[in-house]
Structure 1
């Protein structure tokens, strides 16, 4: 790659044009098992699962799946929460070349059914707690769905004999052969279909290949090797594995690095601190909502959070005031990054030696970035000008599953058009201002929600805030703020508007402030603006 403005700002040792292995992920994991069979792979509920134990279970499950008729290229839905069975099921699919389709166990019937039928899955792996819902979907779509593999949490295990399409996960693991399946897998084979969150429209399936996953893991390793002891890599998993962020940081990165994974059964501040104190991980990758909740936790200061080497933050922008507060309490810098399902997780993050407040960092190795005009998306803009961010790199997917229209709209001449508005400064650091669809146009002026929210979040009485655009007869659109007040504090809407006027142009100041108990969030803790727009009084079209 030609020299870019950001290349001088990589941390020491980063190769901006690394060469990637041609060994498929399943074979990389087999090599780890041979080299370190007894090393802890998973820590879960005071139980330790070694590499050889996890691989033995994955082999047995894979051979059991082959016996059921599941073959290379088949889509297998993993509808599980964070638990060892999720990882083992994913390894089993990789061993036979089946495509992993992780889905959110908390989704409604409509949401799950859309994804199951879109990817034409025949097999669902789910928890017994979600069995009724998945059975209902299967029975209504028997021409498409064939079987459900049930992970049972009951003692004695759930009885499934009365329904021939039900198979117990434990039966497959106990009865399957331990030999490695012989299915050949290539780097270009699709390994994973991750559905986008759908917060701005219909969810789309991102087709992530073996090579995309390898490049993503290699890029992340390059970006963090300067400040993380990778030989003793131990990651605390606190984002859902059905999301690209959780899948990569938990499953995929460990295949490259050979570290250990700490899984907590429920992602709460209490459980995070308990796991940090008990297992002493050196890497934790969180989201702003969890970081904010930890700041309010009475035991944060006494925890072992200060022993972490890397605290990553993604999914949504973190307010600068929150970042500063957390770092002052813990003493470990937060590394903010940027990416999406379309990028196999990330395309940029901050170097540890030169972080810029409010920036999501610089592009990953072998990754390029440009900014194009918002109106047409075809004119490349110079550094410093605001437009739509576009990226090109080996971790970026080539297509959405069976969706040529959306593929053509979002992937053009090798560039992924992110839909995010921002700019790149003269040193190559990227700043995100808003989603293209979230930008508010007041009297012809562009208002970026992040700018207004940063001001609101700096108010001493405000815990968190979000803004949306609502119809206005005079301006076309105007800014409406939703505000959560800190416990025990009081403030009026007029006081908040006066505060904003000190830092914002008049057209950016919220004309309406509504107080709510909590901001609606998606399953990965992003602010759900779609839900805000649907609240009573917001006569705003939801696209």
Structure 2
């Protein structure tokens, strides 16, 4: 296979890696052995060392096993970015369980669906969610519910075992995270003989293209992706970095590129539950001298626009490496952010089915505008025909992106037909339309399902969005196809105008006429105060189309 991207790797980044038979929690335990006093989590000024976090996860793992958690059973975690999330995540894995993480903003219906679909037998949730959890259907497979209060983040450092064992608690169904972690089990093994080939996570897709489904990720899948990104971050040093974790840890992006990569290099993890609180986020960067900051384009753009950043009152020069994912990164956002911080902002690409990333622009080398970058070490890619899904296309031509690598999932939970459609002959069919240039840089043009067919012509929403986004009065834009009685489909744009600016639909249409062929020009423009996005910044085109149909 021709791999032109290998010639574009940064110096020192290997073309291939060796993948030891590790479990995900081995990164935590390894950091605790090598750097026991190094800070693991930082939340609101409260620090927990790697050695202490490893002990706490051992304690909780014993408690979960004592409560009856069997190897391979699923545990739903319903928590924001708190030290308790880190504790629960690694403890479940040490106990032999499978993590099924959920957005703490979910409604009862969404929680019930994921618990039922995953077959979760335990639920670990925030105290603020207790009333919602108690309303859940009694028909769910849940056996135990475990709650933790926000204030626990400030006391869990001191959760040492107490004399009472808690073994008589099998009759109860509701517990607190603190009481289980404090149980004493002298001589009891804290792990359930977990192997690298065992399942670690059920990662649910955001549901933006239909019903959410769980991608099954093995320990070795997550370990491979962690090691790939650790190798990619040229110049980052073990036990000398500070990572800002503002992207949700319940999403595979934050889980792997954030938490797991940070743990693999024994970095301090500054936890931010609410990234929309920009003053607190900016203060954390400056106070803790953050050096590694994975995020999403909208967050970098908001930082660029913040008055304290523009005036220079907030110093962001400690940041050295940023990875942008989940949505396209505009070149103007990247250039501005790098000029303000001196950091390297790299656009990457990933999906829940390859938890989490497969491509990234080089940290030190050339970053090409609009490109998701180069395949990571040991990732192979093909661009195949949209017509037959098999014919390899020449360099520069657009087709479906196929991926093969050690991080690719094992399939979808309880969805054999969708697994067969997605995993074929050793390749993951991503559903994304992409092209590769002669140097091995890849460019995602759009989702295959989002492709708009106007009178038989193919229109990629992202191409139209990129044109409209260059208008000086446009803050955000989304484009999708809407039904049309003659053309079959037509292009519609939803636009958010910058504060203090004025725009009309005709302004947008005339702007597009300068850069787009006639059938790509929106026939309709709607102005919104904000665009619907997922928790990690993905534009929800399906929601826009549904709103249009209801209005029509």
**How does the TM-score come out when normalised to structure 2?**
0.93
Q: What residue in structure 1 maps to residue 159 of structure 2?
A: none
Are residue 431 (structure 1) and residue 443 (structure 2) matched? yes
Q: Secondary structure at the match of 1:97?
A: coil
Are residue 284 (structure 1) and residue 293 (structure 2) matched? yes
| Among candidates 327, 333, 347, match of residue 338 of structure 2 | 327
Are residue 493 (structure 1) and residue 490 (structure 2) matched? no
Q: What residue in structure 2 maps to residue 245 of structure 1?
A: 253
Change in CA separation of 1:430 and 1:178 when aligned onto 2, cut-off 3 Å? farther
Q: What residue in structure 1 maps to residue 316 of structure 2?
A: 305
In the alignment, is the contact (CA less than 8 A) between 1:470 and 1:539 conserved in 2?
no
Q: What residue in structure 2 maps to residue 148 of structure 1?
A: 145
User: Does 8-17 or 20-29 show the bigger shift?
Assistant: 20-29
User: Does 106-115 or 321-330 show the bigger shift?
Assistant: 321-330
Q: Secondary structure at the match of 1:172?
A: helix
Post-superposition offset of 1:15: 1.1
Change in CA separation of 1:177 and 1:299 when aligned onto 2, cut-off 3 Å? farther
Q: What residue in structure 2 maps to residue 214 of structure 1?
A: 223
Post-superposition offset of 1:27: 3.6
Segments of structure 2 that go 5 or more residues without pairing to the other structure are: 156-168
Q: How does 1:49-198 map to 2 (within 5 A)?
A: 49-137=48-136, 139-141=137-139, 144-153=141-150, 164-177=172-185, 181-198=190-207
Distance 2:307 2:543 in 1: 31
Are residue 270 (structure 1) and residue 279 (structure 2) matched? yes
Residues paired across the two proteins, number: 532
Q: What's the CA shift string for 1:162-220, capped at 9, x where partnerless? A: x9321111111122447651421111100111101110011111111111011101110
Q: Secondary structure at the match of 2:182?
A: helix
User: Does 172-181 or 298-307 show the bigger shift?
Assistant: 172-181
Q: Secondary structure at the match of 2:370?
A: coil
Distance 1:91 1:534 in 2: 39
Q: What's the CA shift string for 1:212-262, capped at 9, x where partnerless? A: 0111011101211x2434441221001101100111133311342222111
**How does the TM-score come out when normalised to structure 1?**
0.94
Distance 2:524 2:267 in 1: 50
Distance 1:536 1:502 in 2: 26
Distance 2:72 2:436 in 1: 40
Post-superposition offset of 1:112: 1.4
Post-superposition offset of 1:461: 0.8
Distance 2:416 2:126 in 1: 33
Q: How does 1:327-366 map to 2 (within 5 A)?
A: 327-351=338-362, 352-366=364-378
Change in CA separation of 1:140 and 1:182 when aligned onto 2, cut-off 3 Å? closer
Segments of structure 1 that go 5 or more residues without pairing to the other structure are: none
Q: Secondary structure at the match of 1:355?
A: coil
Q: What residue in structure 2 maps to residue 236 of structure 1?
A: 244
In the alignment, is the contact (CA less than 8 A) between 2:316 and 2:340 conserved in 1?
no
Q: Secondary structure at the match of 1:343?
A: coil
Distance 2:28 2:548 in 1: 51
Distance 1:109 1:476 in 2: 38
Q: Secondary structure at the match of 1:6?
A: helix
Q: Secondary structure at the match of 2:414?
A: coil
Change in CA separation of 1:332 and 1:31 when aligned onto 2, cut-off 3 Å? closer
Distance 1:473 1:434 in 2: 24
Are residue 223 (structure 1) and residue 232 (structure 2) matched? yes
Post-superposition offset of 1:34: 2.2
In the alignment, is the contact (CA less than 8 A) between 1:383 and 1:426 conserved in 2?
yes
Q: What's the CA shift string for 1:427-476, capped at 9, x where partnerless? A: 11100111111111111111111111111110011111111111112211
In the alignment, is the contact (CA less than 8 A) between 1:478 and 1:511 conserved in 2?
yes
Change in CA separation of 1:25 and 1:325 when aligned onto 2, cut-off 3 Å? closer
Q: What's the CA shift string for 1:333-392, capped at 9, x where partnerless? A: 310000101111100001131111110001010100001111221222121111010100
Distance 1:369 1:209 in 2: 21
In the alignment, is the contact (CA less than 8 A) between 1:321 and 1:458 conserved in 2?
no
Q: Secondary structure at the match of 2:175?
A: strand
Distance 2:267 2:344 in 1: 22
Q: How does 1:347-496 map to 2 (within 5 A)?
A: 347-351=358-362, 352-496=364-508
In the alignment, is the contact (CA less than 8 A) between 2:296 and 2:327 conserved in 1?
yes
